[in-house]
Amino acid sequence: MVGGSGEVVVPRNFRLLEELERGEKGIGDGTVSYGMDDGDDIYMRSWTGTIIGPRGSIHDGRIYQLKLFCDKDYPERPPTVRFHSRINLTCVNHNTGMVEPKKFNILENWQREYTMEHILTHLKKEMTASHNRKLAQPPDGSFF
């Protein structure tokens, strides 16, 4: 497909297959990964992400599990992102674990070329941001 400005627009499922391949290999230093939640979901909507807390932070050594849901309008619209592991971050709803788009820049200002990898790596960076660095955290291993 060709978009309005002449660039090639990759169909949704091809895009998600690319993301699946990349996410399963592990990203960068291996502290962020993601994959499909249900291998039988032909629409590739439900995903699981993992972030290992950044070294030297209050999150060091913790493993955070997330759920990402890419509806049929992805990647035109961002996925919904919810922490399954309890975490205290300013962009995460303390009751539901949902990452709130209005408080998380990458979701609020979503662009088609962003990926689930972008979301997870930015959430990891958010863990070390000055406004989150000193927040008390729930007990390790607790879930929403």
Summarize pLDDT for 65-110 with one digit per residue, the tens: 999 999 999 999 999 999 999 999 999 999 999 999 999 999 999 9
The structure tokens listed for 69 are: 């849901």
* pLDDT score of 30: 85
Is residue 33 within 8 A of residue 27, CB to CB? The reply is yes
Range of the domain at 117: 12-133
What pLDDT, in 10s, does the model give residues 3-60? 555 667 888 989 999 999 888 776 778 899 999 998 888 899 999 999 999 998 999 9
Q: At 20, which amino acid appears?
A: L
The structure tokens listed for 23 are: 């996410």
Q: What is the CATH number of the domain that holds 121?
A: 3.10.110.10
In a domain, 61, yes or no: yes
2 — pLDDT class (breaks 50, 70, 90)? very low
Residue position matching structure tokens 């599990």: 65
pTM given for the model = 0.90
In a domain, 1, yes or no: no
Distance CA 4, CA 21 (A): 28
Residues in a beta bridge with 92:
99
In a domain, 5, yes or no: no
**Could you give the number of structural domains in the chain?**
1
Distance CA 36, CA 122 (A): 20
Distances in whole angstroms, Cα of residue 105 to Cα of each of 56, 72, 87, 96: 24, 22, 18, 19
Is residue 91 within 8 A of residue 105, CB to CB? The reply is no
